[in-house]
Amino acid sequence: MKILITGGAGFIGSHVVRRFVTTYSNYQIVNLDKLTYAGNLENLLDVENSANYKFVKGDIVDADFLQNLFDTEQFDAVIHLAAESHVDRSISNPIEFVMTNVVGTVNLLNAAKTSWKGSYNSKRFYHVSTDEVYGSLGEGTEMFTETTAYDPHSPYSASKASSDHFVRAYHDTYGMDCVISNCSNNYGSFHFPEKLIPLSIHNIKQNKAIPIYGKGENIRDWLWVEDHARAIDVIFHKAKTGSTYNIGGHNEWTNIDLIRTLCKVMDKKLNREEGTSEKLITYVTDRAGHDLRYAIDATKLKKDLGWEPSLQFEEGLEKTVEWYLKNEKWLNNVTSGNYQHYYEEQYQNR
């Protein structure tokens, strides 16, 4: 089986690529990534020379390029993760999100449809999406299920919702074998330090302010990224065509409680007096349209396919902090911008 994984140089994509390359030596994995600021080939140093792995630099917004790639490679399946993914960036530049997340996804669906010539036996298009498409919950105990109505609020979540609708439309209209999963907030290694957890780790290390939007009362459900990659593996192999699965950690935290916990872990790991890092917490202007609460009900995934998160959050957070402290070079290369030269230095003449 030859699988196209898009966005494989990003945070979650790199974990999915690593899992598939190392678990399935009989699969050929092609990683297609534009290498935007969020794409980092240094996320994949341990698998980049594997015999069943290939990297292709390219943009999913370029329909001709995509069609050529599909014609040449004859993929059996697509696992689509390429996206613009940061809500704050979507607020300042929504068009970029429409182009990659909506137009890019439709281009991929079209390229797959043309390449597979309407015959979807042993073919699969797996679209990786987010819980943010469901909108915002109140402070109660209600959770998002697979049948919750879409109600996106940010340009990011609106673009992801739109892409989900197109994937379903290709299943319903053309009979394409499509599956979708909607996951909660991920954390773990190789996370770009613009998102809450890695940004806070980086700032605490440097004794810089930790920006908390509003009062820090917004609630997110956090899942260890390797558990997400394992869920994608299970859903890719076992889900029925046309199905949707919610993936989550049953692990809700207000931002401020999460950051206080992180501060304690950082104090311990950096041998600082307890309470040192908490002093860096700084409340800043709230994000526009900031969703109050996300919570995923992942019962269907457990019942149908037996998946459950493997790590308790405290354990995962400690592992994540240890990874960031051990991988200073990775973090320095990201913050200095050096990571953006890796492709020219290592790949262009291959």
Cβ(306)–Cβ(245) below 8 Å: no
Amino acid at 65: F
Q: x/- contact string, 81-120, with ligand NAD (CB under 6 A)?
A: xxxxx--------------x---x----------------
Q: Which of residues 41-80 bind ligand NAD (CB under 6 A)?
A: 59-61
What pairing do the DSSP bridges indicate for beta strands 77-80 and 2-6?
Answer: parallel
Q: Which does 220 bind (CB under 5 to 8 A by kind): ligand TYD, ligand NAD, none?
A: ligand TYD
Selecting among 48, 59, 84, 131, the annotated active-site residue is: 131
Q: Which of 156, 187, 324, 342 is catalytic?
A: 156
What does the block give as tokens for 341?
Answer: 């030269």
Q: 130-169: which residues touch ligand NAD (CB under 6 A)?
A: 130, 160
Residue 61 binds ligand TYD, judged by CB under 6 A: no
Place of tokens 């945070």: 11
CA distances from 159 to 80, 125, 222, 327, 334 (A): 14, 18, 22, 33, 26
Catalytic residue of the set 132, 164, 226, 291: 132
Q: Is 172 a catalytic residue?
A: no
Please choose, from the candidates 141, 138, 136, the residue with its C-alpha nearest in 3D space to the C-alpha of residue 157. Answer: 136
Choose the contact partner of 212 out of ligand TYD, ligand NAD, none; CB within 5 to 8 A by kind.
Answer: ligand TYD
Residue 38 binding: pick among ligand NAD, ligand TYD, none (C-beta 5-8 Å cut-off by kind): ligand NAD
Sign of CA dihedral 207, 209, 212, 216: positive
The interface partner of residue 296, options being ligand NAD, ligand TYD, none and the CB cut-off 5 to 8 Å by kind, is none
Q: Of these, 27, 37, 174, 213, which contacts ligand TYD (CB under 6 A)?
A: 213
Nearest to 320 by CA among 192, 183, 197: 197
132: annotated active-site residue: yes
Of the candidates 120, 192, 245, 313, which one interacts with ligand NAD according to CB under 6 A?
192
The site that binds ligand TYD (CB under 6 A) totals a number of residues, namely 12
- 112 versus 133: smaller Cβ distance to ligand TYD: 133
The mark string for 85-104 relative to ligand TYD (x by CB under 6 A, - otherwise) is --x-----------------
Distances (CA, A) of 201 to 58, 286, 318, 321: 31, 20, 11, 7
Report the 10 Å Cβ neighbour count for 295.
21
Among the residue ranges 23-31, 53-61, 210-218, 304-312, the one whose residues contact ligand TYD (CB under 6 A): 210-218
- Select from 59-67, 194-202, 260-268, 330-338 the region that touches ligand TYD (CB under 6 A): 194-202
Told to judge if 131 belongs to the known catalytic residues of this protein, a careful annotator would answer yes
Q: Which listed range, 39-47, 167-175, 208-216, 307-315, lies at the site for ligand TYD (CB under 6 A)?
A: 208-216
State the DSSP string of 182-206: EE-EEESTT--TTSHHHHHHHHHHT
Nearer to ligand TYD, 31 or 162 (CB): 162
Site for ligand TYD in 274-293 (CB under 6 A): 287
User: In angstroms, what is the C-alpha Rg of the chain?
Assistant: 20
Binding part of the chain for ligand TYD, among 20-28, 105-113, 133-141, 193-201 by CB under 6 A, reads: 193-201
Q: Where are the beta strands (DSSP E) in the chain?
A: 2-6, 28-33, 53-57, 77-80, 124-130, 178-183, 185-187, 210-213, 219-224, 244-247, 252-254, 281-284
CB 290 → ligand NAD: shortest distance, Å? 16
Quote the CA–CA distance of 285 and 283 in Å, as a whole number: 7
Residue 71, C-beta contacts closer than 8 angstroms, at least 6 positions apart: 115
Active site residues: 131-132, 156
